[in-house]
Structure 1
Amino acid sequence: MARKAVIIGAGIAGLATALRLRQIGWEPMLIEQARARRTGGYVVAFFGRGYDAAERMDILPALRARHFGGVEMAYLKPDGRHRFTVPRRTVGTLLGERGLTLMRGDIEAALFEQVDGEVPITFGTTLTAVEQHANGVRVELDDGTAIEADLLVGADGLHSKVRDLVFGPEAGFRRDLGHVIAATTLDHLPDGAPERAFTTVTRIGHLFTIANLGPGRTAAFFTYGTPDPAAELAKGPRQALEPIYRDIPWAAPEVIRSLPADGVYFDSVSQIVADRWSEGRVVLVGDAAWCVTLFAGYGTSLAVAGAYELGTVLQRHPGDLPAALREWEAGLRPEAEERQAMGRRNSGSHAPASRLDLLKRDLPLRLSILPPVTRWLGNRLRMHHR
């Protein structure tokens, strides 16, 4: 009889886990609190361990079909005048042949296509209780459903309900980095923003980016430092962003005024630091376990890699779940912790707190157009993500 897994969260980590468990002969099912599958989202670089995992799970062709290719990185002054540009060719070289530029929603769509019709998905439903016993785990949902399974996977992100119920309150694991992020998709490209480019304006303490990957694929990204992220979040995105971005007249006011009532990702920049990712028959995957933050630039890749490798160890240890989960965590934890450390160091690049931070970010970017520097930076990136 096939083993059953309940996966809470139908984002990238949950969908990838469902696909991988299905591939090894398990019967996964997905539970998602949102009423429908999310689309859009911010732009991500997909590479390293995640790229390798996608190749092994045979979803790389679907991702490559959505890959945009090289993008230009344009840096503007607050009034929209040009500062400097990193050409498309240079950015492509830095990412390497085994790297993709994708909208986050593109990755979800590619994964969803693989599991749609193969894995049951229930939307608009929330986990309410978890009870483990010798032979399995019982999951209760807010619609009154109770499910018995061999494994419960928490793939429900930074604010994981699975983690809260099984491991303890979020406050015991969350490490705030003193920043807030807002991201949303746009229905048009603002005037003055080049196509096929990441266009960024930076002021001390905050940053604004328009990312365009072609027609119908534009996103806006804001990040800024604050001593009290919770107070900022309580205001809501429009009220929080307006006073912060008054000194960036180019495009930012227009985008902030047009922010939709929903569909905006608005949250603190926080990591999850946990001393274990599993408890009995419950395991956390993706941001629920190790959230490295957008500052690390590797969360999506690590989520897909984690899902693939979880299936691999479960297949290797079919009769010993604790051994499988120990091996899985031992293999992933060093890289997750390294990426978390990088995310903490990178806060100065995303929202420079001083002119020195701004200089430290801009100088390598300006020099990257020189072929020797391009090769050196590209080799460093590839060595780091081997």
Structure 2
Amino acid sequence: MVEEDSKKKLIPIIPTIGGVERTNILPLVHLHMAANWHPAPIHSFTVPLWYQGTYDEQRSARSGTVISDRSHLGRFYVTGENAEQVLDRVFTSDPHKMEIGQIGRTIACNEDGTVFDIVIWCRLDAGRWLIISGPRTQTSLLKRVEEFATVYPDVLVRDRLEESVLLSVSGPSASESLVAALGPTIPKSIPLNEGHEILLGGYRALVANYSDTGEIGYLIICSPEVGEHIWQQLLSVGADPIGLAASDALRLEANFLEAPTEIPHPATPFHAGLAQLVDLEDAKSNQRIFEGSTQLGKDLKEFPVSRSVTAFKLLDKGLAKRGDAVQLHDGTGISACVAGFYSAALAASVAFAYIPRKHLTDSLYIDTDSSRSSTESMKPEEILEKIKEA
């Protein structure tokens, strides 16, 4: 009886998403409160939406060093001799092509070829992988990988959502700030686009030299206690905390789309400009079989696709948002925005939409809540180029 009562009192810091007990509280919430956060319930967590203001946070991210708490993202390890075989059945990229230490993006698709999630994966060692899911698939992607792992008794899938925090440090002076706050270990030992497990404060942490903002950046997965120390030390040397609103704007400026909101059904990786993340064949030219591979193989034969993702800079008044209509000059609607934000670097509202190829060279307008704005269209990858040129 005593044992049963003690079990009932054990409530994890971050209960598993979808579980009976769910608090949705980030482990570092007390630090966000101390930094005067403005919270919002998003992605099953109450997260910092902004601190000093989205505009100022964007400017800080392009000129100095910023730190953000991304612990609402799912993260789990896949280990075992056959770990690569499991991941080969789940993701569109061939895991056998990844070098040890390499970190990058890949895609999990649905059977119809649409995008289920865009994830970050890192091959830490032979048979040892870290997977960071998108904000809406903390549990569902984990379960999908677990299902495929049942075929291989040696493969273990371990969820780290409840046991760790995920911090992002980025900006032009991110390396210098890390040296000032924590010493030279991280910048000197982690090459670009690699992730490694090192000791921080006597505890094992995973650190990756990886960014989705177009600036120098690092991802750090560690215990909440070590994460608290890192957060406080970085703030003490001048790093600014930023919330989800600024993080999303920076991510979109660097053309890092999230699924499914920014790659909605029926869009596939080909519509989203992510064909480079799809390996339909392995290194020996053998057909790969993964979720959605059959449909993607059919879609490739019809390439180029009928619609492609396009970015727009609004030239008139008005702030674009998801759902705003994209129109021809005569008012005919041809699409809708899947994302919209104000870019501090461009001093303009920016939007993304999937445009029929026959209209890519037309003059297009976005109907915002306040006005109908003319636009300057561009390829999504050109946004960051324009920011760097400014």
TM-score w.r.t. the length of structure 1 is 0.25
Larger RCO (alpha carbons 8 Å, 6+ apart)? 1
Greater share of helix residues, 1 or 2? 1
- If the length of structure 2 is used for normalisation, what is the TM-score? 0.24
